[in-house]
Structure 1
Amino acid sequence: MPHTPLPASQCPDDFDGWWNLPAAWIEEPNVRRAGWSGMATRRIGETLYFIKKQSDHCYRSLRHPFGRPTTEREYANIQQLSALGIRVPEPVFHASRKTGEGFLGLLVTRELVQFVALDDLGELASDKKQQLAVAVGTAAGRMHRAGLQHSCFYGKHVMARWPDDAAQNLPEIAFIDLEKLRRPPLPWRAAAHDLSQLRRHQRLWNANEWDVLLNAHRAALSPQPPAA
């Protein structure tokens, strides 16, 4: 159930404030092994915040053999894509804490205003679908050129927003749910995995429009000429 919006002056600025803030779960927290992870939302002032909270929901690596909350990895992944010029959720707070309840992870991001997931776009005119194919192919190509694989490349995790400027035809693209973003040992597998995953589950583009997306993707993968 949604909570009454808070005034902007009551925006938390520490772990306890965000963790204990009453917020509405988007869906029931996902329980795995001994831990759980869930996403909630709360409007503060004019801004909708997405609050991911976790307890003992950890990943392990050579650097962290005993595990760290996956919110830490997602925050690092957001930073990676942002550095590539790819639109991602804007983090406003992240931290981890070991307590008697478990190893807690917290990541707070701002809403991507006016962005809509591909799965929620509904019917589009042919020119709009082609514009969208070019924009998604280009953004995905930039990610894959860096050797990064999204790993959950579904329509619900690819967002689009058409600009107000009529002179700009291509929509802006954003990627969300970056918890599983990784760098596979064989770089070519990143594109093969993500594009196959998106194509299997999408119902937006026909075969010709999908070719438009692939052409834009190939162009983005190509080495860029040096600036004059």
Structure 2
Amino acid sequence: MSRSDFIAVNARDVLARHGLDSFDDLWRYREAEQMAVSRDQKRWKSVIRLVLEDVNGLPQNFYLKRQDQQLARSLMHPLGEPTFAREFRAIQHFAHLGIPAPEAAFFAQRRINGHKQAILLTRALDVYKPLTYWYEQWRDLDWRDRQDLILAAAALIRALHNAGRMHNNLYPKHIFLKLDGDGAGARLIDLVETRPAWLGQQDRIRDLKSLLRESYVATPGQKLRFFLAYMGKSRVDTEARRSLELIGTRVRRKAQSPC
């Protein structure tokens, strides 16, 4: 195991128990159904659900993601780096900032015959469902549950923006929510494109525009409730009105633009 490889303390024992605590072992793993694959002649990536019993016989659920030559370029990496490397850094940074997101269990990368390969293993968010799922159940949810989901999503995005970050690809499918007796919890997924909000309000508005535009099921009143909770306000004031106008302008501009 390379010194640059990462393995979470709470995953080390269960991975070792199944002989899956190294890059090579996880790369060769083929005993589970492949959930998603993207492949062409030069590059590929796959996602597999991994269920491992711990020493007490209890299942621990993960998602095993592997990629070959799936690269992202940046000023720091002009020749490209595995997108999972970027996602892993974002997961770790979000944990440092206290923004709920997936939990990394293992990460490693290597270069073989000129190919950049990477593995990212994350804990499954089984008790959470994407906001798109909750929208499908929207009419069957009682008022309190809808309110809890709205407030949890608003608190999550507010924490993201208060930390000076933007998601940069914020849609309902990227907000994972759970309901329990104490309200709702939320986590943010798909962090590959996240970045600092260099443009301040303009970047925050961009995130909100994408999310609210795709929230077809929510009523205007529910969207307003989300926005006020996000702003930390009890009613619409001059600041909130101006932000809503900017979001509305962005949404209309997007709707009018050619496909």
- Shift in Å, 1:69: 0.6
SS of match in other structure, 1:209: helix
Query: What 5-or-longer segments of structure 1 have no aligned partner?
Result: 1-7, 221-228
CA distance in 1: counterparts of 2:227 and 2:96, whole angstroms? 23
**Contact 2:37 / 2:44 at 8 angstroms: preserved in 1?**
no
Give 2:86's match in structure 1, choosing from 58, 61, 73. Answer: 73
Aligned positions of 1:1-228 closer than 5 A: 8=14, 9-10=17-18, 12-22=20-30, 23-29=32-38, 31=40, 34-45=42-53, 46-100=59-113, 102-121=115-134, 122-123=137-138, 124-163=141-180, 166=181, 168-169=182-183, 171-219=184-232
Q: Structure 2: any 5+ residue segments left out of the alignment?
A: 1-13, 54-58, 234-259
Asked if structure 1 preserves the Cα contact closer than 8 Å seen for 2:64 and 2:120, the reply is yes
Partner Cα separation in structure 1 for residue 216 and residue 144 of structure 2: 16
Give me the whole-angstrom Cα distance separating, in 2, the residues matched to 1:11 and 1:28: 24
CA distance in 1, matches of 2:160, 2:216: 23
Alpha-carbon distance between aligned partners in 1 of 2:130 and 2:220, rounded to the nearest angstrom:
21
**Relative to total residues, which structure has the larger helix share, 1 or 2?**
2
Q: Which amino acid aligns with 2:26?
A: W
Contact 1:144 1:190 in 2 (8 A): no
Q: Secondary structure at the match of 2:165?
A: coil
Secondary structure of residue in 2 paired with 1:105: strand
1:57–1:86: structure 2 CA closer, same or farther, 3 Å change rule?
same
Larger relative contact order (Cα-Cα within 8 Å, sequence gap ≥ 6): 1
**So what's the TM-score if we normalise by structure 1?**
0.84
Q: 1:83-139: CA deviations, max 9, x gaps?
A: 222221111110111002711011000111311111112132222112211111111
* TM-score, normalised relative to structure 2: 0.74
Q: Aligned pair in 2 of structure 1 residues 63, 142: CA closer, same or farther (>3 Å)?
A: same
- Deviation for aligned residue 1:11: 5.1
- Structure 1 Cα separation of the partners of residues 39 and 178 of structure 2: 29
| Residue aligned with 2:209, SS | helix
Q: Secondary structure at the match of 1:26?
A: strand
The alpha-carbon distance between structure 1 residues 214 and 128, as it changes in their structure 2 partners (threshold 3 A), is same
Q: Distance between the aligned counterparts of 1:106 and 1:152, measured in 2? A: 22
Aligned residue pair count: 208
